[in-house]
Amino acid sequence: MAGQTVYDKIWDAHVVAERDDGMTILYVDRHLLHEVTSPQAFEGLAMAGRAPWRADANLATPDHNVPTTNRARGIDGIEDPVAREQVVVLDDNCKRFGIEQFEMTDRRQGIVHVIGPEQGATLPGMTIVCGDSHTSTHGAFAALAHGIGTSEVEHVLATQCLVQRKSRNMRIVVDGELPPGTSAKDMILSIIRAIGTAGATGHAIEYAGDAVRSLSMEARMTLCNMSIEAGARAGLVAVDDTTLDYVHGRPFAPVGSMWNRAEDYWRTLVSDPDAHFDSELGLDANGIVPQVTWGTSPELVLGIDEEVPAPDDFADPAKRELCQRALEYMDLDPGTPIASVPVDRVFIGSCTNGRIEDLRAAARILTGRRVSPSVTQAMAVPGSGLVKHQAEQEGLDAIFRAAGFEWRDPGCSMCLAMNDDRLYPGERSAATSNRNFEGRQGHLGRTHLVSPAMAAAAAVEGHFVDVRELL
Amino acid sequence: MEAFVRHQGTVAPLDRANVDTDQIIPKQFLKSIRRTGFGDNLFDAWRYLDEGEIGKNANERRINHDFVLNEPRYAGASILLARDNFGCGSSREHAVWALQEYGFRCVIAPSFADIFFNNSLKNRLLLVVFSKEDVDELFRFVDREAGYALDVDLGMQTVRGPGFEARFDIEPQRKRLLMQGLDDIGATLAYADTIREFESRHRRAVPWVFARDGNAA
């Protein structure tokens, strides 16, 4: 038998049945829920008179439209009545169906993709789904994790399964070593630039190579998080000591002899040497420089030392058109050095870059420096209550505050601007989040995606700058 | 769930690649806890000049007359012609609900994003994948002839219109799902015994997956 990839192994371990029509019924180990994509699913469940198949497979938390200020009042502190209703409905549904929830006032509340790993609710070898495309984040643990729509949320609640077709296997090998001043964010943006936002459609990506192996778990989460921006629903990294060290001691993780048994299994979650990949990409980490997106798609990205392109730089007419539209929307001229572009607001947070290492990387740049007076607002939004607490224990909040940053409460915040944290028309951000689509951070707002260190550097200088000059 | 068998309708062209679900239905409308009420806000930031909000009356909005769907010739269109990687980005199923509520029954493009593809199937919105050349040709026909209409026959897997005829590929199981309009959950629950058997095997093999406090039951 030919060797198997990690993806093949996890897939095989979860096949409940192959239907006559060629679709696979796949078992779901963990289902994460939040307030935005679940209400219609719970409603459907109730209307059909169904109950959750296995309530304890689910874990819920409100994150998308919770405010990042005034949290002591809990749900009553949500000013927007429509947003408040959605959080109330999540509360009601969790109580009604016996689903564990980290409520708004719980210290463990946070972005769903931050709290899963933090709690050990995300474990190697699991199938993990959530009504959110950045569920790919959990692939960092050699889990098969991907986003689903609301109908599938209801399907998973009712059956603990998904009806799936297997994806193809893609391997992205990043060799070498990330240079100082660069991070997993620069790595994934470089990958997306190389293959495009549809480059991995239909595939599960395995990230491999020395540069990936040497990433921390948090950095691997950043990498896997943006797999969807390359078109792949799922991206993952094989198990190694780094994985196990991170998982050990987490609240939901096994202990004692159960840990030993789990570890024996988890150690098998590496691709066999003769495993087949349908496509492969190689990248040299040594050549990666700090990245800044300039356009309205994550593939429109530049090294900090580059200039905004012109439509004629693209051979494909569709790309030319995309470039032209992006230039207009972003109000940029071809040939503009990206390092000269000023920013109005700076956002550090999100499921991509809202973890403790991200906050440390930004704080390192901000130590002894001040946010430029030309910047309207700079905010740091920890990914969870526990991340916030740890940052405060380390004194990071004091560094952010002293630099002129606002120190906020956890949530998705300005990544998608469902709450009050947003750009106003024409404003430009340096953001550590994952999407620079038109209007993503607010109506007619302009988003530039960067790493936490690059966001901090832009806040200090008032424009994009090569963070390596500030190290 | 309304099945898709055959549909005839006029075509609206959306000549942009990488149309993401944030454009199809912007985030502010995702605060709704309902499955309906999204049609007026399809492509909201492109269709209107003012910023959309939940509950804002569409009749009082400022229309962007430069946006293609607002051109009178495309009023009532029920087939959307699009470009590569349509539906990329967020997993929000609201994007499919908005397209359907606006009146679209079918989207034709050279490629679609994965999650959007699944969400469309679940709601019986037919996605037809054609070659770039065929899509280019359709864009030309739609541009030249006001009211250009197509006849989409899922059973025959054909799309026909004046000067155009092409077959499309679709996996048999997806075709059957679309044409039957079955209750997907009910279909899986027919396997309830098989799921339970799998679950007990799985529980023995990986008990830690079923534990919530570090100690397996």
Q: CB B199 to CB A318 under 8 A? A: no
**In this structure, what DSSP letter does residue B69 have?**
G
Asked if A252's CB is within 8 angstroms of B216's CB, the reply is no
With beta carbons under 8 A apart, name residues in chain B contacting A316.
none
Those residues whose C-beta lies under 8 Å from the C-beta of residue B11, and which sit 6 or more positions away, are B77, B79, B80, B81, B108, B138, B142, B148, B149, B150, B161
From first to last of its 217 residues, what are the pLDDT tens digits of chain B?
789 999 999 999 999 999 999 999 999 999 999 999 999 999 999 999 999 999 999 999 999 999 999 999 999 999 999 999 999 999 999 999 999 999 999 999 999 999 999 999 999 999 999 999 999 999 999 999 999 999 999 999 999 999 999 999 998 888 988 998 888 999 999 999 999 999 999 999 999 999 876 554 4
**What φ, ψ does residue A279 adopt, rounded to 5°?**
-150, 155
- Tokens linked to A192: 């997306």
Q: How far is A276 from chain B (nearest CA, A)?
A: 22
Quick check: helix, strand or coil at residue A19? coil
In sequence order, the 6+-apart residues with CB closer than 8 A to the CB of A22 are: A165, B171, B172, B173
Q: Cα separations (Å) of B110 from A80, A212, B87?
A: 40, 33, 12
ipTM, two decimals, is 0.96
pTM of the model: 0.97
**Which residues in chain A have their CB less than 8 angstroms from residue B214's CB?**
120, 251-255, 258
The pLDDT score that the predictor gives to residue B213 is 62
Q: How far apart are CA A319 and CA A387, in angstroms?
A: 40
Rounded Cα distance between A309 and A295, Å, is 10
The reported pLDDT for the residue numbered A421 is 96
User: Locate tokens 């050699």: which residue?
Assistant: A142
pLDDT digits (tens, 9 = 90+) for A151-165: 999 999 999 999 999
What DSSP letter does each residue of A78-134 carry, written as one string?
Answer: ---HHHHHHHHHHHHHHHHHT-EE--TTSTT-B-HHHHHHHHT-S-TT-EEEESSGG
The predicted pLDDT at position B216 comes to 45
Does the distance separating the beta carbons of B88 and A197 come in below 8 Å? yes
Distance CA A434, CA A152 (A): 23
Q: What is the pLDDT of residue B210?
A: 95
What percent of chain A shows pLDDT beyond 70?
A: 100
Amino acid at A283: L
Q: With cut-offs at 50, 70 and 90, classify the pLDDT of residue A129.
A: very high
Chosen from B90, B176, B182, B193 to mutate, greatest number of chain A CBs within 10 A: B90
- pLDDT value at residue B211: 85
**Cβ separation B22–A437 shorter than 8 A:** yes
**Helices then strands, each counted (H, E), chain B:** 8, 7
Angle between the N-to-C axes of helices A39-47 and A150-159, in degrees from 0 to 180, rounded to the nearest 10: 50
B106's tokens? 């079918």
pLDDT at site B217: 41
- The pairing of strands A24-27 and A15-18 is antiparallel
Q: Nearest CB to B33: which of A39, A253, A318? A: A39
B89 and A198 within 8 Å at the Cβ level: the answer is no
Report how far Cα A198 is from the mean position of its chain's Cα atoms. 17
pLDDT, residue B2, reads 82
SS3 label, residue B12: strand
Pairing of strands B126-129, B106-109: parallel
Three-state DSSP string of chain A:
CCECCHHHHHHHCCEEEECCCCCEEEECCEEEECCCCCHHHHHHHHHCCCCCCCHHHEEECCCCCCCCCCHHHHHHHCCCHHHHHHHHHHHHHHHHHCCEECCCCCCCCECHHHHHHHHCCCCCCCEEEECCHHHHHHHHHCCEEEECCHHHHHHHHHHCEEEECCCEEEEEEEECCCCCCCCHHHHHHHHHHHHCCCCCCCEEEEEECHHHHCCCHHHHHHHHHHHHHHCCCEEECCCCHHHHHHHCCCCCCCCHHHHHHHHHHHCCCCCCCCECCCEEEEEEHHHCCCEEECCCCCCCEEECCCECCCHHHCCCHHHHHHHHHHHHHHCCCCCCEHHHCECCEEEECHHHHCCHHHHHHHHHHHCCCCCCCCCCEEEECCCEHHHHHHHHHCCHHHHHHHHCCEECCCCCHHHCCCCCCCCCCCCEEEECCCCCCCCCCCCCCEEEECCHHHHHHHHHHCECCCHHHCC
pLDDT digits (tens, 9 = 90+) for A395-445: 999 999 999 999 999 999 999 999 999 999 999 999 999 999 999 999 999
With tokens 């070898």, the residue in question is A125
Tell me the count of A-B CB pairs closer than 8 A: 223
- Chosen for mutation from B31, B189, B200 (greatest number of chain A CBs closer than 10 Å) is B31
The CB-side HSE value for A138 (13 A sphere, CA atoms) comes to: 32
Residue pair B27/B94 in contact (Cβ under 8 Å)? The answer is: no
* Contact assignment for B176 to A21 by CB distance below 8 Å: yes
- The pair of structure tokens assigned to A232 is 């792949």
Residue B214 confidence (pLDDT): 54
Q: How far apart are the CA of A299 and the nearest CA of chain B, in angstroms? A: 11
Give me the residue from B18, B55, B206 closest to A125, CB to CB.
B206
For residue A267, the number of C-alpha atoms closer than 13 Å in the C-beta half-sphere is 7
Instruction: Identify all chain A residues contacting B54, using CB atoms and an 8 Å cutoff.
Output: 82
Contact A343, A441 (CB under 8 A): no
| Residue type at position A210 | D
CB neighbours (10 Å) of residue A31?
Answer: 27
Cite the DSSP H helix spans in chain B.
21-24, 44-47, 94-102, 114-122, 132-144, 172-180, 184-189, 192-205
DSSP B184-213: HHHHHHTTHHHHHHHHHHHHHH-GGGG-SS
Sign of the torsion formed by the C-alpha atoms of B185, B186, B187 and B189: positive
